[in-house]
Structures are given as C-alpha cells and as structure tokens.
C-alpha cells in the first residue's frame, strides 16, 4: 500500500531563514505528487504539484519542490520564509492515472518567528 512520510512534525524558523521540509513516499510505480498548505483557520490549498517532466517544480508564494525518483522523495523548499508562511504543510501522492484517493502524510507544522 502507498504511504507518505513527513519527517518533521514541527519546524520553527526565524524570518528570512531557508526552509526544507522532507517528504518520502512508498510506491513502486508512476506517482503524482502534491504539496498542500493549510493556513490557520483556512482550508487546504494546493501549493504545487508534479505529474511528469521537469522534476523541479515551482509553486505559489516562492515555494518549489524537487522530485528525486531514486530517493522516492519530494522535498519542499523556500529560500527565505516569511511570518505569513506559518501554516501546516501536507505532502500527498496519488498513483499514476488515479482519479482520486490522495494519500497524505501527517503534516509538518511550520512556525515562523518575526
């Protein structure tokens, strides 16, 4: 069965620090990969996605993620975080061709100190 692991439960950074959140998945076939963000009091929003092509994906608000197939990883990065990036971040995967059934990690809570 597919699963998603997010290594960090809670990350605390100061503004302007660089961010990298880890995500590993277990599935041997073609996958589609996503990062979602949930700001306090708001609903889940899509940050970025990878289906195929360039493994370096750029999303909204300066976030990017790199798909490394050999490592089954899809880590999220941002060179300089802001206080407004404080939120919970979820990595998710679907198997290639799947029309639903997002498998989520447990999430990483990011707190950015002003």
Partner 1 sequence: DAGVTQSPTHLIKTRGQQVTLRCSPKSGHDTVSWYQQALGQGPQFIFQYYEEEERQRGNFPDRFSGHQFPNYSSELNVNALLLGDSALYLCASSLERLAGGPNEQYFGPGTRLTVT
Q: Which residues bind partner 1 (CB under 8 A)?
A: 4, 32, 36, 42-46, 49, 51-52, 90, 92, 94, 96-107
Closest CB 18 distance from partner 1, rounded Å: 24
Q: Which is nearer to partner 1, 52 or 70 (CB)?
A: 52
Closer to partner 1 by CB, 55 or 79: give it.
55
Nearer to partner 1, 7 or 106 (CB): 106
Which of 59, 51, 52 has its CA nearest to residue 85? Answer: 59
């Amino acid at each position: 069965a597919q699963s998603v692991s997010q290594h960090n439960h809670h990350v605390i950074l100061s503004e302007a620090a660089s961010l990298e959140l880890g995500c590993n998945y277990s599935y041997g076939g073609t996958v589609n990969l996503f990062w979602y963000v949930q700001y306090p009091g708001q609903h889940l929003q899509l940050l970025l996605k990878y289906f195929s092509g360039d493994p370096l994906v750029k999303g909204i608000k300066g976030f990017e993620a790199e798909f490394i197939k050999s490592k089954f990883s899809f880590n999220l990065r941002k060179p300089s975080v802001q206080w407004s990036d404080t939120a919970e971040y979820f990595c998710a995967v679907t198997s290639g061709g799947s029309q639903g059934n997002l498998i989520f990690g447990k999430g990483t809570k990011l707190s950015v100190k002003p």
